[in-house]
Structure 1
Amino acid sequence: MPLTTSDAATAAVWCDRCGDAVTAGSHGACAAARVLEPPRFCAYCRRRMKVQVLPAGWAAVCVEHGETRG
């Protein structure tokens, strides 16, 4: 079941690039890398996501929270 916007604002506790807690240190390098790369971890449950890079962007799928596109 995909998250709604209000759920996403309160539930994102994991870095979607490295998988560590958002509150655990600085994630400046992760933010810089995310400009060019798709997410690798679900920001809501920390599961590794299936990522597909497409010509027009990317699609990342969490088995629990559904698909995210960018």
Structure 2
Amino acid sequence: MDELAAGITTGELTLADVPVYEPPRRCPICQRRMTVQVRPDGWRARCSRHSVLLDK
């Protein structure tokens, strides 16, 4: 079990303490909307024009 899950399970942390990881929705170059895939372990975003691939 990772530290975050252990902290929530033991009561040391609450869901309000968990940082929010919001994937980018716009390309940093052209500001077009990106295709975003959200996965349980992170996200992947891709611009259709620039093929910019951001991965977390």
Same fold, TM exceeding 0.5? Answer: yes
Task: Work out the percentage of aligned pairs sharing the same amino acid.
Answer: 53
* CA–CA distance in structure 2, aligned partners of residues 37 and 63 of structure 1: 20
Match of 1:64 in 2: 49
- TM-score, length of structure 1 as denominator length: 0.47
Where structure 2 has 5 or more consecutive residues not aligned to the other structure, the ranges are 1-19
TM-score between the two structures when normalised by the length of structure 2: 0.57
1:68 Cα offset (Å): 1.2
Return 5+ residue gaps in structure 1 as ranges. Answer: 1-34
Which 4+ runs in 1 deviate beyond 3 A?
Answer: none
| CA RMSD, Structure 1 to Structure 2 (Å) | 1.2
- Aligned-pair CA distance for 1:45: 0.6
Q: Which has the higher contact order (CA 8 A, sep 6+)?
A: 1
Shift of 1:36: 1.6
